[in-house]
Amino acid sequence: MRRAFYDRPVLDVARDLVGCTLSHGPCAGIVVETEAYHFTEAACHAYVGVTPRTQVLWGPPGIAYVYRSYGIHALLNAVCEPDGVGAAVLIRAIEPTDGLEVMRDRRGPVGDRELCNGPGKLTQALGIGLELNATSLLGEGPVRFGPRPSPVEVVRSAPRIGITRAAELDWRFTAAGSRHVSRPFPKVATPA
C-alpha cells in the first residue's frame, strides 16, 4: 500500500482496510474488522493533543501506532490522514490465512475462529509488539498491508467496542457475515 492510501479521511481508510491482507513474518490474514479514531472525538488517544504517547498519531500517514491496552495487550493501528492530523484505524480482527501453526503456538489451544478475533489476540498471534510502534506500513516495514485478494462486502455497525466516550459514533467496520470478527457480533449493519 502506498502512502496515498493512508493519506485520506480515517473513515475511508477504515472501510477500505477491510478485506486487505495483513502480514508480519510468516503469519498473515484478511482484515475483517476495523474501527476509526479521529482527534475530534473523545475516544481517540489524540483527543488530548500531542504528548509523548500520542506523537505517532500526529505523524505522517502510513505508519504503525502500537500501544499497550489495559497493561496487557499491544494493539495495532494504521495512522492516516495528512501529517499533523491525529487519526488512526484500529485493526480489530483478521481471518488467519498463513502461519496458523505459529499463531497457535503463540495463542495456545484455541479454535481458528478465536485466534485473531480481537485486537489483542491478533497482535499476539502475529507477534506484533510495542517495538513496532512508529514503523512503516508502506512495504519496507515489518508489518504490511496488501490489497484485497478478492472483493468483500463491507458493513458499518455501531457502537465501537470497549469504549465509553463517543460510543455513539458508527465507526466500526466489518466484513459482511464474517464469524472472525470480535464479539459482540454486529447486530445492526448498514452498507458502508
pLDDT in tens, 25-47: 999 999 999 999 888 886 677 77
C-alpha cell at 76: 495495532
- List the single range of 1-15, 57-71, 75-89 with lowest mean pLDDT: 57-71
| Structural contact between residues 165 and 43, judged by C-beta atoms closer than 8 angstroms | yes
For the domain spanning 3-191, the CATH number is 3.10.300.10
Task: Give the C-alpha separation, 112 to 108, whole Å.
Answer: 11
Which residue type is seen at 183? R
**pLDDT surpasses 70 at 160:** no
Position 118 scores a pLDDT of 92
Average pLDDT of the residues in 5-22: 96
Which residue type is seen at 110? V
| CA neighbor of 53 nearest in space, from 66, 43, 38 | 66
| Structural contact between residues 164 and 152, judged by C-beta atoms closer than 8 angstroms | no
Task: Give the C-alpha separation, 168 to 159, whole Å.
Answer: 6
* Residue whose grid cell is 493533543: 49
C-alpha cell at 33: 474488522
**pLDDT surpasses 70 at 70:** no
